[in-house]
Structure 1
Amino acid sequence: MSPIKNGPVNHEIDINTISGFFIEYLGFNPIEELRIIDWLVLPQQVLLSIANGRIFHDGLERMKEIVAKLEYYPRDLWLYQLSNQWERIAQEEAFMGRCGQVGDELGSRIVATRLISDIMGLCFLMGRQYAPYIKWFGTAFSKLKSAEVLTPLFTKILDADTWQERQDHLVKAYGYIAKLHNDLDITDSLTAEVSQFHNRPFKINHAEKFAEAIHAIIQDDEVKQLPKYLGGINQYVDSTDVLSYTNKFRRFWSMYQ
């Protein structure tokens, strides 16, 4: 936007019906019943904007109903994504040390950063909070209760000069998120202790045990039929051009068919 001295002014104000607005913004009408696939292709930043967005007037008293419906994922969809987030950690938790062992210090740091990001995403899910897009990701994380313990550990991981030192701090982070999981009391208590990756000198949390235990308690048959470790769109798409535009993120329906 830029100031003008004369001529028409674009106030960036649109007039729409409630249904019309949401069909344009979400790609479907949330007044009607939401399908599982509708939930999964909605970026968390979009859901967050509805759940936490300001409503200045609701004369028809319809917005309150919609906001309540989209406040957070239904339980089994929450479990589905929670399971997948643990699996993301399981898939890479040994690689930070492996990169360092072969002298790839840059690769080790990159993997450590990815693990930090996945742990942060896990904390949003465990706290039943939608995560914002990347610009506000760290700011929003700092407001989670878990940030008090994890932020100092993340800083030490990022500042570490060797993969062994990096690993020591990651181990503490793994122990803490294991405790957070057990505090949820949704599965039998799982050990927070780390152990070696096969016979290699890499200490890992074996995050797959959390993923499997959580997936096993999903009750909804339709959710059970979803691709096991695909998750919601934020767990496999990292493109601003996709996550910011309805006509693009809606195309990911096909991932679940």
Structure 2
Amino acid sequence: MESGIALAHAYHREVVGPLLRREAPRLPHAAGRLGTGSDVLGFDDDVSRDHDWGLRLQLLLDDADADLVPYLDELLERELPDRFRGHPVRFATTWDPRPRHKVSVHTVNGFARERLGFAFDPADTAGWLMLTGQAVLEVTAGPVFADSTAWLGPLRASLRHYPAEVERYVLAAGWHRLSRLPLHARAARTGQPLHARRLAGTLAEDVMRQAFRLCRTWAPYDKWFERAFQRLPIAAELTGPLTTVLHSGDPRVREDALVTAVRVLLARQRERGLPTPPDGVGPFFTRASRSIRPEVPAALLAGLTDPVLRRLPPEAGAIEQWLDNPWLLARPAMRAPLATAYAQWLSG
């Protein structure tokens, strides 16, 4: 089966690119397979073809040429063939029921604003915390087949990962989430076995998300979360302990496995040269259960100079760390009002 990326590349090389060279030879533009879709991440399969899969491209212009967006859209609708390699060029999608071509024409900044949910400024600390991994991947993960714009390359490069101090703040918030580890043991010992298992699963997810951060990799949304996790350099060390966490019926075995996974994360953090205590796991007061030592997040937060990060609650982190509603996180327009939470924290 030809992948969506391979199909998009051929579509640009053989059809869309030649058309643009003929009709607008001096127009700076970029073309690639960006935005939504399993194929952008390289994970599409036979099942992916039942909706929104097909001859899709993103055509991006600099702001100075924004007035040409309607012209190019109409040109493509008029000049593109009916089919390419057996696939219809004009088809309906879940967001556009019209059978039209699906070469999406935007400016670079307009496309970024549509995907990220706001006008991104790399110097805006709070803006970094409003990003979701999936939104960033919709701008950065897919291939670009041609680019003569001034802004797409710098935009994608700036979104590669958090700036250093923002990264330390977000990692500290991830350790605060993992400090719920003793609640798993407490639930198991107080006759709440289902809740203990639920907590174990939540902590396993927190471990995986912290692994993405420590590997400086953006996490996609739930459908492809583990597939992307498997690509991380520490995934092999974590998969065994996490499998035990999710399958063992013995809460003591689950806790041991969680601690093993946490120590893999701490070792990665130490290898990265980030401030990390010699042993980040210790007893929880006088109880038999263990927890993340408070020195772990404290070491990351110590010495931060960014005034925004110094004023925000240390447990908050990025929006994906305090909100897990997939319908809100997946819609840029619904994420935008969440910025008021950071504004209120900063003004408090």
Shared topology, TM-score over 0.5? Answer: yes
Look up the match of 1:98: 186
SS at match of 2:283: strand
Aligned counterpart in structure 2 of residue 10 of structure 1, from 100, 107, 115: 100
- Offset, 1:85: 0.3
Look up the match of 2:163: 74
1-structure distance, mates of 2:116, 2:255: 41
Select the structure of larger CA radius of gyration: 2
- Offset, 1:33: 5.5
Aligned counterpart in structure 2 of residue 140 of structure 1, from 228, 233, 252: 228
For residue 177 of structure 1, what is the amino acid of its counterpart?
L
For residue 195 of structure 1, what is the amino acid of its counterpart?
G
Indicate how the Cα distance of structure 1 residues 43 and 193 shifts in structure 2: closer, same or farther if over 3 A, else same: closer
- Offset, 1:79: 0.9
Q: Which moved more, 1:215-224 or 1:113-122?
A: 215-224
- Offset, 1:138: 1.0
2-structure distance, mates of 1:149, 1:130: 19
Alpha-carbon RMSD: 2.2
Look up the match of 2:303: 217
- Offset, 1:106: 1.1
2-structure distance, mates of 1:122, 1:133: 15
Q: What TM-score results when the alignment is normalised by the length of structure 1?
A: 0.89
- Offset, 1:133: 0.8
Q: Which moved more, 1:34-43 or 1:135-144?
A: 34-43
Give % identity: 27
Q: Which has the higher contact order (CA 8 A, sep 6+)?
A: 1
1-structure distance, mates of 2:167, 2:158: 14
2-structure distance, mates of 1:60, 1:182: 39
Tell whether the 8 Å contact from 1:51 to 1:71 is kept in structure 2 after alignment.
yes
- Offset, 1:136: 1.1
- Offset, 1:34: 4.3
- Offset, 1:35: 1.6
2-structure distance, mates of 1:204, 1:59: 52
1-structure distance, mates of 2:157, 2:124: 16
2-structure distance, mates of 1:253, 1:190: 33
2-structure distance, mates of 1:25, 1:215: 30
Q: Which moved more, 1:68-77 or 1:218-227?
A: 218-227
Aligned counterpart in structure 2 of residue 160 of structure 1, from 224, 244, 248: 248
Where does 1:224-243 land on structure 2 (aligned, <5 Å)?
224-243=310-329
Aligned counterpart in structure 1 of residue 210 of structure 2, from 118, 122, 125: 122
For residues 118-157 of structure 1, the C-alpha deviation after alignment (integer angstroms, 9 at most, x for no partner) is 1111111111111111111111111111111110111112
1-structure distance, mates of 2:292, 2:104: 50
For residue 107 of structure 2, what is the amino acid of its counterpart?
T
Q: Which moved more, 1:226-235 or 1:192-201?
A: 192-201
Look up the match of 2:147: 58
SS at match of 1:117: helix
- How many residue pairs align between the two structures? 251
- Offset, 1:68: 1.0
1-structure distance, mates of 2:281, 2:110: 51
2-structure distance, mates of 1:41, 1:54: 24
Indicate how the Cα distance of structure 1 residues 19 and 169 shifts in structure 2: closer, same or farther if over 3 A, else same: closer
1-structure distance, mates of 2:142, 2:280: 40
1-structure distance, mates of 2:185, 2:206: 17
- Offset, 1:104: 1.4
Tell whether the 8 Å contact from 1:227 to 1:256 is kept in structure 2 after alignment.
no
Q: What TM-score results when the alignment is normalised by the length of structure 2?
A: 0.67
For residue 43 of structure 1, what is the amino acid of its counterpart?
T
- Offset, 1:101: 0.5
2-structure distance, mates of 1:29, 1:121: 26
Residue 47 (1) aligns with residue 136 (2): yes
Aligned counterpart in structure 2 of residue 173 of structure 1, from 248, 251, 261: 261
1-structure distance, mates of 2:284, 2:322: 25
Look up the match of 1:86: 175
1-structure distance, mates of 2:128, 2:285: 38
Residue 38 (1) aligns with residue 124 (2): no
Write 1 or 2 for the structure with the bigger share of strand: 2
Tell whether the 8 Å contact from 2:187 to 2:193 is kept in structure 1 after alignment.
yes
